[in-house]
Amino acid sequence: MADAPAPHVSNTARNAQVLIAAILTGAAMTWMAPILTPLALAVFLMLMIDAMARDLHGRLPRLGPDASLVAAIATCILVFAVVVYFIAGHAAGFVGKLVAYQPRLNLLLSTTSHSLHVRMPRTVAQLIGGLDLGRVLPFVASGVQSLVQNGVFVLIYLGFLLASRRGFERKAVRLFQGRAGRHEALQVFLRVRDSLERYLWIQTVCGGFIAIGSWCLMMVIGLENAFFWAFLIFVIGYIPIVGSAIGIIAPALFALLQFPTYWQGGVLAISLFALSFIIGNIFMPRMQGRNLNIDPVMVLLSLAFWGAVWGVTGMFLSTPLTILVMVVLAQFDGSRWIAVLLSADGDPHSLGAPARAMQLTRSQKSEAAAL
């Protein structure tokens, strides 16, 4: 008896199934956020360390793969320690400045309340006195505990991922019996990895230009702790849109406290906004569209989506996660239309560099042959 032909599935039904699966996946990711967010950060850090190790091995072949990996890990630890030391060293002085500016802050609160004709605390003492410490302190303690716990989980996940990275090749052999399947899977992995590395490079370069330009503007105005503010702008610049907003508002508010007149804060806010707008909304989207092939509108939507799913961690990883989703969805006929919408030019396979993305280098070909 001949086998019955497979039932035909219409495009509408297939698209509906994809949307339902996306909604269920988003709900599951929200529910499992305490487990998945540290893992996602650990994977992102592992890719950074792996990229640094490969770059060191390429520049210094005598080091070898293992020594290059150890050097990359040591470099990341050193950078992290410098960042923590820098922030901790300037935190005390920053708090002291805020205490010294308390009279100026009282004047700003009183002026704002009188100008807007709203009922609000007119002094810092009234503002602090109006807070319910019984509700605020448990919330702050919970946030600090969650931050420390996630940091520990990230380090644990990262350690196990680095220790088990040698077993990935054997797992790939078991998952894909045929050489063609392994070759295609390797192409997808390399496409994602190269795109994430380019994204990190773009964010670092653009964030560096914004930080240097902001430091110059703050030095011209005469803002205190200009280097600290520039460093903070560079760090939070990895969060799309939100980081830029904080980098504009926070120094401008501090300028209102430092100077006796308001024009310094206004000029600084306008200048920082213009700098952030030019780099963040003209140069960066063009670089992302050319190198990452992501629609700038989708960058904004992905920020909102991943922020709703995973909070601040999702906002930090919104663009890398969108790149991953676009590449994976492009491999299946039923979900390729979503990848097309996410892409900038309608070709999710190119990622802005067709020759580089679609053709394996000599070392990558040897890696695929080894599998």
Count of domains for the chain: 1
> Would 202 be classed as within a structural domain?
yes
Answer yes or no: is pLDDT of 42 > 80: yes
Query: Which of 143-157, 190-204, 222-236 ranks highest by mean pLDDT?
Result: 222-236
> Would 169 be classed as within a structural domain?
no
State the average pLDDT for the chain.
75
- Does the pTM exceed 0.85? no
> Would 21 be classed as within a structural domain?
no
49-83 burial: b if 16+ Cβ within 10 Å, else e: bbbbbbebbeeeeeeeeeebbebbbeeeeeeeeee
> Would 197 be classed as within a structural domain?
yes
> Would 320 be classed as within a structural domain?
yes
Domain that holds residue 365: 191-371
At residue 138 the predicted structure's pLDDT band, cuts being 50, 70 and 90, is low
pLDDT tens sequence across 275-332 = 888 887 777 766 665 566 777 788 788 888 888 888 878 888 888 888 888 887 887 7
pLDDT tens sequence across 184-216 = 777 777 777 787 788 888 888 888 899 999 999
Give residue 144's pLDDT.
60
For residues 45 and 19, the model is more confident at 45
> Would 171 be classed as within a structural domain?
no
> Would 137 be classed as within a structural domain?
no
Region of poorest pLDDT, from 59-63, 90-94, 221-225, 302-306: 90-94
> Would 66 be classed as within a structural domain?
no
